[in-house]
A and B are shown apart, each in its own frame.
Chain A
Amino acid sequence: AQTVTQSQPEMSVQEAETVTLSCTYDTSESDYYLFWYKQPPSRQMILVIRQEAYKQQNATENRFSVNFQKAAKSFSLKISDSQLGDAAMYFCAYRSVPLASRLTFGEGTQLTVNP
């Protein structure tokens, strides 16, 4: 079974600064997908970024980028130019390749953005 670990229960960042959230995972599969989800107080999970394990290039979505280290089984999220609206709980998640496989989530990191 796959496991996902987020070792930072809470992080804080100043507005306009950069912050990195950490995630490690364990799997015996060679191909899979990794995700970062954002859960604001509204409770709805929102996909931030996706990484396909077979791709060596790190994914980027505007101010959000990842550092994917497959050998180390590490998948960190970098948020640049942090904005107040980035404040939320962030979850790292793993999904196997077979169609519509389940998501396995980490415990989450609560991000606070200070003005």
Chain B
Amino acid sequence: DAGVTQSPTHLIKTRGQQVTLRCSPKSGHDTVSWYQQALGQGPQFIFQYYEEEERQRGNFPDRFSGHQFPNYSSELNVNALLLGDSALYLCASSLVAHKVEDTEAFFGQGTRLTVV
């Protein structure tokens, strides 16, 4: 059973460019959340997708956008990249369920984005 997979693993972009990160959720999961983890800090919630719609959003500018496809996979897009966008981007998948043990979030290994 494949867990959460993210691509690419590493990426280097120039300021002002646009980037797309991809995430495939764990089999059976229907919800994808994205987090930004700056070096030496805890992950910060960006947004969450369920049923192909953005359901929750953290305190991130509109330069950060996303999409969820019918197969539950997701993309994170960042426009007009800034040096401060350099971070590890984590994707977590989960299932909308009533038992908390069924709603555990599983994380991918992340995409390391460096903006130069």
A contact set with B: CB distance below 8 Å:
4, 6, 33, 42-47, 50, 52, 91, 99-108
Contacts and interface: CB of A to CB of B under 8 A. Distances in A.
Contacts of B55: 100
Nearest to A105: B42
19 contacts: A4-B42, A33-B100, A43-B110, A44-B109, A45-B43, A45-B92, A50-B104, A52-B100, A91-B43, A99-B96, A100-B31, A100-B48, A102-B33, A103-B35, A103-B43, A103-B45, A104-B45, A105-B35, A108-B42
Question: Which of A45, A104, A105, A107: most chain B CB closer than 10 A?
Answer: A45
> Mostly helix, strand, loop or mixed at chain A's interface?
loop
A101 B41 contact: no
Question: Which of A4, A43, A105, A108: most chain B CB closer than 10 A?
Answer: A43
Give chain B's interface residue range (CB within 8 Å of chain A). Answer: 20 to 34
A6 B44 CA distance: 15
Given A100-B96, A102-B58, A47 B104 contact: yes
Contacts of A47: 104-105
B113 to A, nearest CB: 13
B90 interface: yes
B100 A100 contact: no
